[in-house]
Structure 1
């Protein structure tokens, strides 16, 4: 009898121990506690990151094996403690519903599995073309180019926008706008819950002119130029966005301008004092290259980050070997040439324009690196025109060919679509300044050119 009782108590104790052990395992197992983007959230189609927050640290390899996207995009997972972050290497498909599936079995750092999986969806916005209208004192608008008879959407209501640049993921749009007697920097959050919360001031510049905002590809830094009052010499500043700390990357006694980031996250800007482009690397702003250039006009990074194309004004002397007999007035003249600077395997510099009777400006690389768009005009009297035409060529200078044929119009501000063979550009009439500027779209596959909007400037794609 006593033995039977003892066995009964032992069985109950064992069952309780198993229950306690299972309960402890359930408590110790990871749980998915938060996701971003949230269920049903609409986000820009750019490289928006997906974040998963678990109840305890998880294994990166297991996360990569147990989380799936449909449609899928390439990218990398990074795990820091209990937070797993997926950063896509290319944009999500625009105007798409993305399904995220987290499978059960995903392992925590302690080896225990996720007991319950989860599936949710988020929606991507269409790729839109942003611009400023009207050109003087206007706001930022955006147009869904692929939609028939799309109505432009007004993104800002501040007026006085002078320049703007979207972040790599398309969520934020940084812009310069008049603020009293000066020009300050603002940011538009396209994912804000309301219009009133969408725009906030980043830097109040007082009487200074803060222009040329340039967010880094990883979203950590904001470069911009700041001039001391109207007409003051500009200097490039770099702001660390997480704490709004100004970074002392550039010499305070040099006049610098035109900051642009490479896809790999290096910053180039023109040093007017040193006569060349500085190339700096975060997080300490170390100078990794100096590219000699006497004038520092517009520039563009190659998509692989290993080359930079920049404009330099050259003095052409008819008596020099480079001059031609029909050079304008047979007097020395300035001509803007495209220069290709390469960094590897050795630093080099190549004149892509080559002909002293040609002038090139405003270069822009296609995302795949196959094409370089630029504006070109002839300087010799027999072929000179008031306007500058859109040309395309390969980055080595080969297969240069003219696209537009409107001799009285300047074509500039070339903006490549992030995934499609489309090129947006601005067009201004150089013989009748009462005519408003226009924004056009060129389709490389069909050859079609069509006007999108009038009385507008600065086309920029919002991924």
Structure 2
């Protein structure tokens, strides 16, 4: 019987291999004991002045399985919502806005596993406080044109905050989906304009987004993720000349790269609007007299007739939209009705009521999608438009204002769906100026906020 004789070197190698195996086993065992870790939580514990439209985001240190049966969050006060996974991130989107000036306590209520089977061992709890909702609007300033302001519509003693000081003024603006940033068109003396950006909380001064050169850049439409936007570009090769036709362009906010949305030079458009999911955007195609819907993932197109050329309005869920369109009324004249469309089916429904002799425009969905506010007047009359409410199918319509010599426009819902801010203009007063008003939808009470002021938008 032979005996295995190992040299000192062989014994050292064997010992090293055994030791490495033990260390590896220890690391694997320790890793299984450590489990999944949380890298960050947004809003963070103790955060204040949080947007009422904020999403809750948890980032893990591993790619997660995403196998969660129910909503894995408990809120106090309670609020409903939905979740989605993005690799190692869990994102909660509330169904309605958080209440303003309210402390929310949040905890996780389910077990979470990574794709490798590791468990989240510690279930965190934290709290944050929402801020005061405000109103964003445009108002004239002596010697510098129109500028952007914000105000607290619930405290008349609080002075408005001026966000911009553009020498030639601001033409228009657009608020990002999360309510954090404002892109606006800054005018030049020669009629051209650039795109700039400013935080909604005025934490820093406006900065340049895009120098447009011999062009007018307006009509920004933010993508829901805030990474890109679409804008309207009209060439003005000669200073003070009339702008050319509008084409839609992309702008990447990280790289500042800009390019046309459609290569076809005859594909003109304006009034881009995004669905909340970021899958579809709509725009007015004036040459074809339609509102065009385009799916950026698969290239699908849906066409909605629109001889009026009004901008479409998406519902909060992102699965249907409203388009004002010219119709024949029961009196034989022309009317303007709201047509509801679902892009997946192409189905069209007149929700103003067949044959109704009305002009319905400026529709806005309530935050929960249960109501639509619109401006309405009788077709063919010179009366001012009034504010009306109706359900998405056209039922339960009721009038909110009744001032035939006052024109109401630009209605916008507060994040909680209780208030409407709108623009009001007297048709009787000489040298009348547009003013901003606030309407309590529950009580019907209305009061003036600011004169002059126009184009309001809520800051969540």
Q: Which category of TM-score, normalised to the shorter sequence, fits these structures?
A: 0.7 to 0.9
- Residues 230-273 of structure 1 show CA distances to partners (whole Å, capped at 9, x for unaligned) of 43211222334454454654343132111122334321111011
Offset at 1:277?
A: 0.7
The count of residues paired between Structure 1 and Structure 2 equals 427
Cα offset for 1:91? Answer: 3.0
Partner in structure 1 of residue 289 of structure 2: 275
Q: Indicate how the Cα distance of structure 1 residues 51 and 372 shifts in structure 2: closer, same or farther if over 3 A, else same.
A: closer
Q: TM-score w.r.t. structure 1 length?
A: 0.78
The residue number in structure 2 matching 1:138 is 146
Which ranges in structure 1 are unaligned for 5 or more consecutive residues? Answer: 1-12, 325-334
Report SS of the residue matched to 1:195.
coil
1:200 equivalent in alignment to 2:207: yes
Task: Give yes or no for contact 2:43–2:50 (8 Å, CA) kept in 1.
Answer: no
Q: Name the residue aligned to 2:7.
A: none
How far apart are the structure 1 equivalents of 2:112 and 2:314? 41
Aligned residue among 294, 297, 321 for 2:307: 294
Give the one of 378, 387, 390 matched to 1:393.
Answer: 390
Residues 249, 186 of structure 1: alpha-carbon distance in 2 compared, 3 angstrom cutoff:
same
2:239 is aligned to none
Q: Deviations over 1:63-113 (max 9, x none)?
A: 9887655445423141524x4444444433322233444699855544444
Contact 2:183 2:195 in 1 (8 A): yes
Distance 1:272 1:236 in 2: 13
Go from structure 1 to structure 2 and tell me whether the alpha carbon gap of 1:457 and 1:110 turns closer, same or farther (over 3 Å shift): same
How many Å separate the matches in 2 of 1:369 and 1:455?
31
| TM-score normalised according to structure 2 size | 0.78
- CA distance 1:107–1:314, change in 2 (3 Å): closer
Q: 1:422 pairs with 402, 419, 442, which one?
A: 419
Judged with a 3 Å threshold, the aligned counterparts in structure 2 of structure 1 residues 139 and 61 are, in CA distance, closer, same or farther, namely: same
Q: 8 Å contact 2:291–2:312 — kept in the other structure? A: no
CA RMSD of aligned residues (A): 3.7
Q: Do the aligned residues in 1 keep the contact of 2:339 with 2:351 (CA within 8 Å)?
A: yes
Displacement of 1:169 after TM fit? 1.8
Q: 1:21 aligns with which of 23, 26, 50?
A: 26
Mapping of 1:50-449 within 5 angstroms?
50-61=56-67, 68-73=74-79, 74-81=81-88, 83-101=89-107, 107-114=113-120, 118-134=124-140, 137-147=145-155, 149-158=157-166, 160-179=169-188, 181=190, 182-190=192-200, 194-196=203-205, 199-229=206-236, 230-246=242-258, 248-250=260-262, 251-265=264-278, 266-283=280-297, 286-313=299-326, 322-323=331-332, 335=334, 337-343=336-342, 345=345, 347-350=347-350, 352=352, 358-379=358-379, 384-432=381-429, 434-449=431-446
SS at match of 1:138: strand
Between the aligned partners of 2:395 and 2:95, the Cα distance in structure 1 is 29
More displaced, 30-39 or 109-118? Answer: 109-118
CA distance in 2, matches of 1:104, 1:358: 53
